Amino acid sequence: MDEVFNQREIEEAERFADVLDTLEAGGQPDVEALMEAKLASLLRTADVVHETGFLATGTAAFDSYRARSRAYVLHTLEQQRRAAPVLAPGVIPFVVRHRRWTVFAPVAAAAAAAGLMLFTPFASAPGDGRPSTAANLTNLATSNDLELKRITGALATLTQRSTSGELVDASILRTITESTTVVANRIETQPQSVSKEHVESYQRVVEQSSTALSAVLPAVGTADALAAAQRATEDGKVTAARFLVAETTPTPTPAAGAAVTATPG
């Protein structure tokens, strides 16, 4: 390093690193650091980068998305593990040798689906208020209804077992987690695929699920599955409420006295 940087540059770099460590720890740099032109400029740049990153990841929406994504990935891996065939000794299954792909496959599939949507004629970006295609919206609406039925069915089983004092196994809890997460993600990322009535029904179901989950008797080893289901229903309530508030917020209209551009006669 001495061949590339002189001693003064190394000292300045080390001082800058020390100041950054102080800022990351929640402290304040000394006055001399703020008065030194080069160091102050670097600190301002670092502050902008740090603030930008915080705005992107320090929101409730990001925390909600991260929690639901984690629950979905863990549930998918658990399904694959249970469905793994029994192989002869010495045979290494492809899914084990390429375990990393099983984690990133859902991400790659989502990216491919997004690319297909962007390059499909008459498609539009999610959230602009216009439908992509009638067929796509019909399929999504049907899928949302199926997910709601899955939640309702699992909720009925959950309530029946809780009422009779039976233990609730992890499969029921995972069904609630997965379907609640799927619909919540669609409400957030594809709001044009749901209606106000859909979201109101979803809100009622997740509220009932949240109440039922607070009274269940989990079986041994299902504490994590119960926590994931409770977190998913809480996130689902937040997502539904946010959508319904946006739906009921009136769109600003031009003032009555706004100037009107005359059309030449």
Whether residue 118 is found in the same domain as residue 41: no
Core vs surface per residue 93-125: b (16+ CB within 10 A) or e = eeeeeeeeebeeeeeeeeeeeeeebeeeeeeee
Q: Bin 133: left if φ > 0, else alpha if -120 < ψ < 50, else beta.
A: beta
Domains: count for the chain: 2
How many other CB atoms sit within 10 Å of the CB of residue 81? 10
Mean pLDDT of 1-14: 68
Which three-class secondary structure state does DSSP give residue 110? helix
| 72 falls within a domain | yes
Kindly state whether residues 189 and 66 are assigned to the same domain: yes
* Res. 96 pLDDT band, cuts 50 70 90: very low
In a domain, 22, yes or no: yes
Most confident of 5-14, 25-34, 62-71: 5-14
> 256 in a domain, yes or no?
no
Q: What is the pLDDT of residue 27?
A: 67
How many residues in the chain? 265
Q: How many CA atoms lie within 13 A of 252 on its CB side?
A: 2
Sign of CA dihedral 98, 102, 103, 107: positive
**Percent of the chain topping pLDDT 90:** 14
Please indicate whether residue 10 or residue 63 has the higher confidence score (pLDDT). 10
Same domain, 52 and 67: no
Contacts 24+ apart (CB under 8 A), 124-130: 126/189, 126/190, 126/191, 126/192, 127/189, 127/191, 127/192, 128/192, 129/192, 130/192
DSSP state, 218? B
- What gap in Å lies between CA 147 and CA 159, rounded to an integer? 18
Residues 223, 104 share a domain: yes
**From CA 208, how far away is CA 224, in angstroms rounded?**
20
User: Is 88 part of any domain?
Assistant: no
Contact 131, 137 (CB under 8 A): yes
Q: What does the pLDDT look like over 107-159, one tens digit per residue?
A: 444 444 444 333 333 334 444 444 444 445 556 566 778 888 889 998 899 88
Q: What count of other Cβ atoms lies within 10 Å of the Cβ of residue 234?
A: 16
In this structure, is residue 90 part of a structural domain? no
pLDDT at 231 over 90: yes
Same domain, 27 and 118: no
pLDDT at residue 216, as a whole number: 85
- 33-44 residue pLDDT tens: 666 666 666 677
| Residues 102 and 26 placed together within one structural domain of the fold | no
| CA count, 13 A, side-chain hemisphere, 259 | 3
Residue 230's nearest CA partner among 188, 182, 177, 189 is 177
Q: Tell whether 255 is covered by a domain.
A: no
Per the domain annotation, does 201 fall within a domain?
A: yes
Q: Collapsing DSSP states into helix, strand and coil, what is residue 214?
A: coil
Supply the mean pLDDT for the chain: 70
73 & 32 share domain: no
Domain that holds residue 38: 7-57
Q: Are residues 78 and 153 in the same domain?
A: yes
Per the domain annotation, does 159 fall within a domain? yes
Judge if 101 and 37 occupy the same domain: no
Same domain flag for 15 and 67:
no
What is the model's pTM?
0.46
pLDDT at 169: 86
Q: Which percentage of the chain shows pLDDT scores above 70?
A: 49
